[in-house]
A and B are shown apart, each in its own frame.
Chain A
Amino acid sequence: MMNVTKKWIFLKVSSVILIPLMVWFIINLPLIYDKEYFDVVSFFSKQPSKFLISLLMIVAFFYSSLSISEIFEDYIHDEKIKNAANKALYTFAIVIPLITLTIIFNLTI
């Protein structure tokens, strides 16, 4: 299987997983955004929110890194700049969710 085909399949599979997670996220966001500190901590540290927000972070950053690299493919013509941009993007997509997941799993009321 070609790399581009694998990339397309990964994009589509992550997109199908991401849709219900995004629906859950935007339904819950207006419920908690202006709540007190302990209510927000309680939301992120209890199940199923803890599992769902963690999954959202992993899948969303994975999906975005693949789709943004497609934008780089279309608009950046210099190979060196494109490779550097892709490396920075993949690093960002690994580091940010990793830090956030560590924080979520260390949150206690």
Chain B
Amino acid sequence: MENNNPLSPHIQIYSWNISSLISISHRIIGVINILVLTFVCLWISLLLLGETNYDYAKFFLQSIFGKFTIIGIIWSYSFQILSEVRHLFWDLGYGFELKTSKITGLIVIFGSIIFTILIYLFGRNIF
């Protein structure tokens, strides 16, 4: 007899809400962040090759694409930090109520955007 039980991935059978959006984003961003850290390793490795070789990295980082990349990295890490804190509260037994879960999900989304703006402006000495 054929087994028709649904197997993962079965995301398509659920209706989207804040919790499912944050859950899948947390996983995707976690993978992106480790790729980012691998590029940070590459960036550090370029330092060992001397100033002339490092100029290629500096040229990219000083361009508009470089700035956009840095802002993207700050956002993805801010998102992961807030989402991770949310998970730790769940592990302690807090925040399971539907309303609280929706509120904390929104805090993760909007908080990560606010943190990104504040951290970037602070880093550029705009404050």
Contacts and interface: CB of A to CB of B under 8 A. Distances in A.
Interface of A: 12, 15-16, 18-19, 22-23, 25-31, 33-34, 36-38, 40-41, 44, 53, 56-57, 60-61, 64, 67-68, 71, 74-75, 77, 96-97, 99-100, 103-104, 106-107
Given A33-B61, A60-B37, A96-B38, A25 B45 contact: no
A103 B47 contact: yes
Given A75-B8, A100-B45, A103-B45, A34 B61 contact: yes
A71 B30 CA distance: 11
Query: Interface SS of chain A: helix, strand, loop or mixed?
Result: helix
A19 B62 CA distance: 28
Contacts of B81: 19, 22-23, 26
Interface of B: 7-9, 27, 30-31, 33-34, 37-38, 41, 44-45, 47-48, 51, 54-55, 58, 61-62, 66, 70, 73-74, 77-78, 80-81, 84-85, 87-88, 91, 119-120, 122-124
Contact of B41 (A18, A41, A96): A96
Nearest to A65: B34
A31 to B, nearest CB: 5
